[in-house]
Chain A
Amino acid sequence: EVQLEESGGGLVQPGGSLRLSCAASGFAFSNHWMNWVRQAPGKGLEWVANIKYDGSETSYLDSVKGRFTISRDNAKNSLYLQMNSLRAEDTAVYYCARAALTGRGGDCWGQGTLVTVSS
């Protein structure tokens, strides 16, 4: 069964850091681009970052550039999001999503992990 499971969310103070992880199973992780997408409470979906299947290319939402870093370890079937200098507006459920091999849609999603930035 294809599965993605996020972890690492929690409560952090403004200016703090968190590292999110996404464990993949049931598919050839190293073949797929991967994404992080977030959803603030009661709001819509917002794409955050993606990374190429071999880790050689990354792309970010402007508001997180220089603060967030997406990475992956294909040997461990894992995706990461290092989040630094966190702000209240980063509060959201963070989902990892697999990019389909055709069509560029997110065809498999984790259950999400909640990040709350508050003092």
Chain B
Amino acid sequence: DIQMTQSPFSVSASVGDRVTITCRASQGINNWLNWYQQKPGKAPKLLTYAASSLQSGVPSRFSGSGSGTDFTLTISSLQPEDFATYYCQQGNSSPFTFGPGTKVDIK
């Protein structure tokens, strides 16, 4: 099975800050990497797919990058509604594992 790790575990940031979250796969995943945002008590929301493609309707301050085993989600200017937990997921092979999550909270 492919293992997914994320760093940092949590980050405290202010509105307007640039935030970067990293995700690493235990083996190559052919760029089948998704990023999700989840707020408390709500279902996850797809932000980016295939490593760098922005999901329709998602603000352009979110961007995904990376290849091979190392991937990044960047929020260019953090907004109040962006405080949430972020998960990566590999879509290369079953089981389609998620990372442990990164919580972004208010500094």
Q: Taking beta carbons and an 8 Å cutoff, which residues of A are in contact with B?
A: 35, 37, 44-47, 50, 59-62, 95, 97, 100, 102-107, 109-112
Contacts and interface: CB of A to CB of B under 8 A. Distances in A.
Contacts of B94: 50, 59-60
Interface in B61-93: 87, 89, 91
Interface of B: 1, 32, 34, 36, 38, 43-46, 48-50, 53, 55, 87, 89, 91, 94-101
Contacts of A95: 43-44
18 contacts: A44-B99, A45-B87, A45-B89, A47-B96, A59-B95, A60-B95, A62-B95, A95-B44, A97-B44, A100-B46, A102-B49, A102-B53, A103-B32, A103-B34, A103-B53, A104-B32, A104-B50, A106-B34
Interface residues of chain B: helix, strand, loop or mixed (majority): loop
Contacts of B53: 102-103
Contacts of B45: 109
Contacts of B100: 44
B98 A61 contact: no
B103 to A, nearest CB: 10
User: What 8 A-B pairs are tightest by C-beta distance, nearest first?
Assistant: A103-B49, A104-B91, A105-B49, A109-B43, A105-B34, A59-B94, A103-B50, A47-B96
Given A45-B98, A95-B43, A107 B55 contact: yes
B43 A100 contact: no
Given A47-B97, A103-B49, A104-B34, 13 more contacts: A44-B100, A45-B38, A45-B101, A47-B95, A50-B96, A95-B43, A97-B44, A103-B53, A105-B46, A105-B50, A106-B46, A109-B43, A112-B43
B33 to A, nearest CB: 9
B98 A106 contact: no
